[in-house]
Amino acid sequence: MSRDEEIVEGAKLGGRFDIGEARSVLGELSIRGTETMLYLHDADFFHVEDEHAECIRGTLHDRTKVTVLASAVRSSLGSATRYDESFSFAELMPAYIVSGNRHLSAEVAEITKVTFHIDDAEQVFYDFDAMGHVIDPRPLIEAVVAANERHIDRKIPTGPSPDIAYFAGRTELADVETAIGRVRVFHRPIPSHPLSTREVGMRNRTLVEICFVEPRLLAGTLDAVLSLLRFLGMLAGRPQNIDGIWLDTIGDDRAPPLDLYWTHPPRRPVAWEERSPHPSEILIPVVDEPEQFGTVLSRWLANDPVRLEARVRFASGFEQQRSFSIDRLVGAANMFDILPDDGFSTVAPLAADLLKAKALARGAFRALPNSPERSSVLNALGRLGRPTLRSKVHDRAALVSGALREPLVDLDLVTDEAVKCRNYYVHGSPGSFSYAENGDVVSFLTSALEFFFAASDLIDADWDIAAWRNRGSVLAHPFNRVLHDWDIYAAHIRALREGLPKKAEDEARATVAVCCA
């Protein structure tokens, strides 16, 4: 990777673009995030077919090759007259723009490796000793200067106040074989210009790389990136933005990678953004525990195909960060319902008398005319003997509580209330108390459901949650906030359910407010 991103926000890039049938026209790419536009024009009539909009290859005026992919056609054909000259034009809104010294195929799987940088990478992969300044450089400066003098063949004067900055030299942080390919994490220090006398130093980026077993198309490449992004977001405590992504292709081992500009990349909302991650709270300290990181990552990705729907549901709530809604609560509970059965303890078979009653009831209701009520009862009978949502949530929560080695108090109470709250908003079932008047409790129940889902998912992959918890907390990670608030909210929920006098309830509410301030 010899440069930063080729395509930058606000750029206008002109060139010629192929639109099929051996036809090329002039065009301009206007880079504006989600409003990025490819404007094509020519003196002669042309029409951009939908199939051609899937992949348009172009060459910019500076000879950079660009591949414009998955474009939505805003205007497939138009005409105008300016200064008595008529011309045709079309406007397209690309999903992806790939640039570099070659084009990317939209039909042939040729991507062998993808490398990307997430905005919290240097916290997620915190490496305190990677770079630094020599505390007392005076005894060392002569040796350093002498080494340079041998290469440049001239004398370098030294003085009484030298300063030496360094990169310690370890680039590799993790190297893991996974179901999606070989995942590497590494430092990429970039020194300042060697002839600069105004600024001398290094800028480091910690990059993530996936090397595929078999070449992939762009869509499959980005699927792998998104899977890994969901995992890294959990480690960090907030969704991750990608601020650079590069592609290597077949047969180009010595060529620089292609730059990918993603017009609609995964982007966490800023309105309710979580605070920046704190290195001490990253779920797995990658630099200190690379083996645990490798084990958990490998096993978590191996489970991804069968748990994908539930994990995507988790991610859609998690990305809302500090914004809580009823829909988020319902979604947090429903994650457990769409988790595969192998994620739960085995349910004991129904007793013989219950099986007999179930069969009799099913026969009686099947004999009735079709109606919503008949269907509802038959569906309920079909679920009899299978785990309920309440038992599923409790099962996963008990796994987390046990792994903490300090069991959570009133676990049954809190998980039961979470499901009751969900059922109230989905079915209108009676709640234990007024959820509208206790919005902070609803928010806590939502966070608790998300915590139990994600933490149990990681524990299945051999995550040591107790070791993480014992490292302490500054409440930067939402999982730590759930654990910090647990006892207070468990007591508050019990008080609400038992209908304590208003004074006692107000005191409990005040305690919650103080602890959450």
The CA distance from 235 to 470, in Å, is: 16
The CA distance from 414 to 424, in Å, is: 15
Instruction: Assign 91 to helix, strand or coil.
Output: strand
Domain positions in the chain:
12-100, 111-130+168-281, 307-347+387-516
b/e code 171-182 from CB counts within 10 Å (16+ = b):
bebbebebebbe
Tell me the backbone φ, ψ of residue 189, rounded to 5 degrees.
Answer: -70, 140
The CA distance from 115 to 247, in Å, is: 7
Tell me the backbone φ, ψ of residue 420, rounded to 5 degrees.
Answer: -60, -45
Task: Kindly give the parts of the chain with pLDDT less than 50.
Answer: 1-5, 502-505, 512, 514-517
b/e code 470-501 from CB counts within 10 Å (16+ = b):
eeebeebbbbbbbbebbebbbbbbbbbeeeee
Q: pLDDT tens digit string along 198-214?
A: 677 788 899 999 999 99
Tell which residue, 510, 473, 504, 470, has the closest CA to residue 488. Answer: 510
Kind and range of the H or E run holding 147: helix 138-152
Instruction: Assign 406 to helix, strand or coil.
Output: coil
The C-alpha R_g of the chain, in whole angstroms, comes to 29
- Prediction pTM value: 0.88
The CA distance from 458 to 481, in Å, is: 18
Looking at residue 514, what is its pLDDT?
47
Sign of CA dihedral 136, 139, 140, 142: positive
For residues 456 and 296, is the Cβ–Cβ distance under 8 A? no
Sign of CA dihedral 395, 415, 469, 338: positive
Give the tokens for residue 102.
């070659």
The CA distance from 426 to 428, in Å, is: 6
The CA distance from 261 to 10, in Å, is: 13
Helices (H), 265-350: 290-302, 304-318, 326-337
